[in-house]
Structure 1
């Protein structure tokens, strides 16, 4: 999976006026001569309008050097449609969590 980091993302989008659409973000990154990984993750984002940089950060896969808690928070706080299921934290079944198994109900 292609990733970027917060620093490269901020460098690529330093002159963006929010709100901005996905295409605007990709165009700004290309004009800023961002690295190919950063451009790829921006192209892979859901095609919606982003209100601020925090929404963009939550919508792209950031590098593995992030703490697991930060990665989980990114997945949990992501509000845009189109995020693959593997990148979402999904709660377990409440009965299975309490009893330890799902009794087929």
Structure 2
């Protein structure tokens, strides 16, 4: 399955209080009803803290 693009992912991360770690992002997206593709993309993120939505988008862009 192809990774979700950052714009799709950000739709499910609206309202996140940054900084946020990977687990917080995954939990938030799940609570917003994110589909399997979005969830798989978030699960592939490095386990670190993200300061801004742009940091999340950058990390998604680096997923192979």
- Per the normalisation by structure 2, the TM-score is 0.87
Deviation digits for residues 67-96 of structure 1 (CA, Å, limit 9, x no counterpart): xxxxxxxx5xxxxxxx6xxx5xxxxxxxxx
Structure 1's unaligned 5+ residue stretches are 62-74, 76-82, 88-105
Deviation at 1:6, TM superposition (A): 2.9
Aligned residues: 64
**Residue in 2 that maps onto 1:55:** 55
Larger Rg: 1
Distance 1:30 1:37 in 2: 11
For 1:1-105, what aligned pairs fall within 5 Å after superposition? 2-61=2-61, 75=62, 87=64
Deviation at 1:47, TM superposition (A): 0.3
SS at match of 1:60: helix
Distance 1:46 1:7 in 2: 18
Where in structure 1 do 4 or more consecutive aligned residues deviate above 3 Å? none
Structure 2's unaligned 5+ residue stretches are none
Deviation at 1:2, TM superposition (A): 2.8
CA RMSD between the two structures: 1.7
- Per the normalisation by structure 1, the TM-score is 0.55
Distance 1:54 1:7 in 2: 10
